[in-house]
Amino acid sequence: MLLASRHFDLNEWFLIGVTLLEIALFLALRKRFSLLIKVIVLGFNFFLSQAVDFVIAVKPLDLYDVNDGPEYEWLDLMLYVLTYPLEAYLVMVVYDRLQPKGWSKMGFIWGMAFMTLGFEGIAVWFDVYTYKGWNLYESLFVYAGVYGLNVALFDFVRSPRSSGRIAAGRMRRAD
């Protein structure tokens, strides 16, 4: 069951502000990708963010809390539905513009992971995350993995081999 925040304080205002900024950037860049690409990237990151957080942030590991405690709150839902997916979408916009190849692709993934680590550090300062056995630098490897998966998915979706199926708006079995 979704709960209201125990205290509506700085961490909630911070999340709302960040999410509104991401929405504004998303709307400004809305013609960058097709609707199908947007749905794939946003949907993938909605499920990925929940899966990762539910593995490491709930029992038995329970390494950190999001927002005011371990309970699932409305603003946690906003984080999973909007904030995390939009952040990954914006990273994919940068990836698409830069189009790194070879080792520069790896540099891009790690660069974005370090940038996101900085954002998480700011979020920790605003009490969005409360670590209980986790530390900020462990997140670096999670972000690198998340962005690596995003780049692989994005490259697959945009590849010539899949472009006919994706562009048509449906996935067909390749015979």
Confidence of residue 164 (pLDDT cuts 50, 70, 90): low
Residue boundaries of the structural domains of the chain = 33-166
Q: Count how many residues are written for the chain.
A: 175
Distance of CA 61 to the CA centre of its chain: 21
H or E segment at 129? strand 129-131
**Of 152, 160, 146, the residue nearest 48 (C-alpha):** 146
Confidence of residue 173 (pLDDT cuts 50, 70, 90): very low
Q: Give the position of tokens 């029992």.
A: 59
Integer Rg of the chain from CA: 17
Other CB atoms within a 10 A radius of the CB of residue 171 amount to 10
Mean pLDDT of 155-174: 62
Q: Is the peptide bond between 85 and the residue preceding it cis, with omega within 30 degrees of 0?
A: no
**Of 167, 171, 172, 174, the residue nearest 37 (C-alpha):** 167
What's the whole-model pTM score? 0.85
Mean pLDDT of 116-139: 94
pLDDT at 117 over 70: yes
- Residues 65 and 129: beta-carbon distance below 8 Å: yes
Q: Is the peptide bond between 60 and the residue preceding it cis, with omega within 30 degrees of 0?
A: yes
Residue 159: per-residue pLDDT: 80
- Residues 86 and 19: beta-carbon distance below 8 Å: yes
pLDDT at 3 over 60: no
